[in-house]
A and B are shown apart, each in its own frame.
Chain A
Amino acid sequence: MLRYTIRRLLQLLVVVLVLSLLLFAWLRSLPGGPVSALLGERATAETRERLTEELGLNEPIFVQYLKFVGRALTGDFGVSTGVQPGDSAAEIFVQRFPATLELSILAIVIALAVGIPLGYLAARRRGGILDNLSVVSSLIGVAVPVFFLAFLLKQVFAVDLGWFPTAGRQAGGIDATRVTGFFVLDGLLTQEWDAAWDALRHLILPAIALASIPFSVVFRITRASVLDVVDEDYVRTAESKGLTSPVIRRRHVMRNAMLPVVTTIGLQTGALLAGAVLTEKVFAFPGIGQALALGFERRDYPVLLLLILCAAGVFVLINLLVDLSYAVIDPRIRTRGVR
């Protein structure tokens, strides 16, 4: 187990290194470049040259890369040139990461809280109205562009009905104490209930829009694997032993049916991050996604490099955790030893 974990962590390191090199070369070849983005089109050749030199963009690319790695090891990922000019890329990441994490966690919680029970019910009443309705809605969920759903939710529930705020993470008038950077958690920790409530209200619409991606998948996988499991002999055995149906559901059906769902959650991390780019843009939510969208618009290399690397790292790491969690859920893997 330990050896397996270490090997996977080393693999993660290799992926991140290779990716950083590729991204570095890649981002440098993007048209435009930070010099034009910072100075605009009308700057003189002289000022351009000076800024190019200042940013170190005149050196050979591999020298630039080695310098970057050297600085990165000390936690210095460069200074933002476009998203929040002057702030360090690492600072932007630290500021914004909790926002996206908070949003993604709420989205996953919504997807699981709705998707798993609905998947179970649909499977138990296969072919019924609930089953057909929820299957159709999950298929439509896949087909709706997430940014359009976000627009729709914003227009109806924030603009027309006014139930929720239209943008941001926290209303301007609220002076909240920051502890962790997770606004809802901060409000709860400092017992500033109105701040926590306000932050939660800002999260709800973007989270629902974002949840549409994992929801369809969670629902369909739950339904399919419950259908698989309820036909198994051990479920019939449990029934004939006279176990009550809640016990059968909990110990025999759901425990076995959850394995594929857990895998899916891991695989959905990537889709969630991509969805966050779109959702955060619609709700002007100051997270990683919005920074990425802005970063591409303004060619902010240091920020893009760090954020994409982190996105990839998080994605790979979560899938490692998912693989490891199998051992907890499925005792067969534990005793067989890990491949």
Chain B
Amino acid sequence: MSTRTDKIDELSARAADDAGVSLAAAAWRRLRRNPVFLAGAGIIVLFVVLAAAAPWLAPHDPSVPMLGDQVVKARNQIPAVQDGHPLGGDQNGRDLLSRLLLGSQQTLLVGVFATLIGLGGGLLLGTLAGALGGWVDTVVMRAVDVMLSIPGLLLAVSIGALFAQPNQYTVILAVAIVQIPIFARLLRGTMLAQRHSDHVLAARSLGVKQRAIVFRHMLPNSLGPVIVQATLVLAIAIIEAAALSFLGLGNPDDRIPEWGQMLGQAQTVIDSHPQLAFWPAGCIIVVALGFTLVGESLREALDPKSRR
């Protein structure tokens, strides 16, 4: 069979599939069969379960330096792998496996809260600009342009540096604020594109109030790309939080472990004890990959062009 008739078969099969279902339902159908999405979702589910069960799974208290007697700072000696400590200890003699397990909680929280704050701020600004237009649009978008003109990490570092005592909340805030203009611009773009579209015109001519048009018609239709972006930002937020730690602007209080912080702190001993960096870095990479895979497959599934 030639490739062309193959394509026609495929198209007609797709069309029958998608007939009479909403975009979201059609997207879900495509996602269910997409190995990329399944792999990403599997990773995320696994780590969420691990994070939830961490207090029971962790063999030791992650904040207690129980192997402290094996740490010799002067000779750069760090507890090795031993009975009861399958990954050994960290530079302060705490059990590495327990810190990794509990670290998943804090890391996921940083990602989720940074994304939610960025999304919330962007949603507010983008909706205002896109729905109202006029001078509101101009003012908001110029402010967004100025924010976007500073490279993301530099902005996060500037915000992080504002606080005398960095802690987990300042890290979340620094990473989140960087995302606000990106969400705002995205949302404003999709809202603007709809302002003169037929369904909005129809609603307006039926006498639907402006507020209802914005919230019931325009906003729901703009959410697709926003959800995609939010999934990708979850990965970015976790990586950027690690970068802040690496630059010395992370949370210095390490009683509650977080992977980015563990990686940042490991840089001083990385030459002699690379495992202290490899484990948290590996976890960050796998989780970030999970969110990226889900985000990319969502983007594909929600893009009408890729329905071919």
Contacts and interface: CB of A to CB of B under 8 A. Distances in A.
Interface string A1-39: 000000000000001001100110011011110000000
10 contacts: A18-B146, A31-B162, A142-B289, A145-B285, A146-B243, A148-B284, A155-B274, A311-B150, A311-B151, A315-B149
A43 B275 CA distance: 41
B289 A140 contact: yes
Given A139-B292, A147-B243, A159-B271, A271 B151 contact: yes
B293 interface: yes
Contacts of A23: 158
B56 interface: no
Contacts of A278: 153, 243, 246-247
Contact of A143 (B158, B162, B239, B243): B239
Contacts, number: 110
Interface string B238-270: 010011001111000000000000010001001
A142 B150 contact: no
B277 interface: yes
Given A151-B277, A296-B161, A144 B150 contact: no
Query: When A and B form their complex, which 9 residue pairs have the shortest distance between CB atoms, in order from nearest?
Result: A274-B153, A31-B164, A270-B151, A143-B288, A143-B289, A274-B151, A312-B149, A273-B151, A148-B281
A316 B151 CA distance: 10
A102 B277 CA distance: 29
A155 B235 contact: no
A64 to B, nearest CB: 18
Interface string B139-170: 00000011001111110011001111000000
Given A30-B162, A148-B263, A308-B150, A143 B157 contact: no
Q: Which one of B154, B164, B270 has the highest number of Cβ atoms from chain A below 10 Å of its Cβ?
A: B154
A271 B182 CA distance: 14
Given A140-B289, A151-B267, A274-B154, A15 B149 contact: yes
Contact of A19 (B149, B153, B242, B243): B149
A35 to B, nearest CB: 15
B249 A296 contact: yes
A270 B243 contact: no
A26 B292 CA distance: 33
A202 interface: no
A270 B289 contact: no
Given A31-B164, A269-B151, A271-B151, 12 more contacts: A15-B149, A19-B146, A26-B158, A29-B162, A140-B289, A142-B292, A148-B242, A155-B270, A274-B151, A277-B153, A292-B154, A297-B248
B296 interface: yes
Nearest to B293: A139
A281 interface: yes
Nearest to A19: B146
A293 interface: yes
A180 to B, nearest CB: 25
Given A155-B271, A293-B247, A312-B149, A142 B288 contact: yes
A271 to B, nearest CB: 7
Contacts of B263: 145, 148
A145 B285 CA distance: 7
